[in-house]
Amino acid sequence: MAKLEQAVKDLQDNLVVIAEIEKRQSALLQEHGEMLHGLNKTVLAQSKVLTAQSNAALSYIEHVSQQRREIERLDTEAAAFRRRTDQNLAEITDKLNGLIGYVAGIKPPPPAH
């Protein structure tokens, strides 16, 4: 029976060692779980910040695009105004030249159109 008693004692010792290993593993798993939970919270918070920053950037880009369209519209209007002004100035110049010629008694040149 001494062999059987020794085998039972060895098994009991092994069970104690296994129980201690399981206890340590369980503690490590708990610690890792808590770390992962903390990391998940951090990643979620960073994701929210990045989403907010992306939305702000998109809003700014849209604002800049609207301003660019408005500037292009104003440039188009200004170019049309410049063309009308140049045309008006040319007509006024022709009329003034004609008036000067009339007053001076000079025949006016044919229109330059």
Q: What is the pLDDT of residues 26-40, one digit of tens each?
A: 999 999 999 999 999
**Angle in degrees, CA 54, 59, 60, rounded to 5:** 95
- Strands (DSSP E) contained in the chain are none
Q: Is the pLDDT of residue 100 over 70?
A: yes
Report residue 108's pLDDT band, with 50, 70 and 90 as the boundaries.
low
Torsion of CA 14, 20, 26, 29, to 10 degrees: -100
DSSP state of 44: H
The answer to whether the CB of 111 falls within 8 A of the CB of 95 is no
The answer to whether the CB of 90 falls within 8 A of the CB of 100 is no
pLDDT on residue 104: 84
The pTM of this model reads 0.52
Kindly report, residue by residue over 61-71, the tens digit of the pLDDT.
999 999 999 99
pLDDT on residue 113: 62
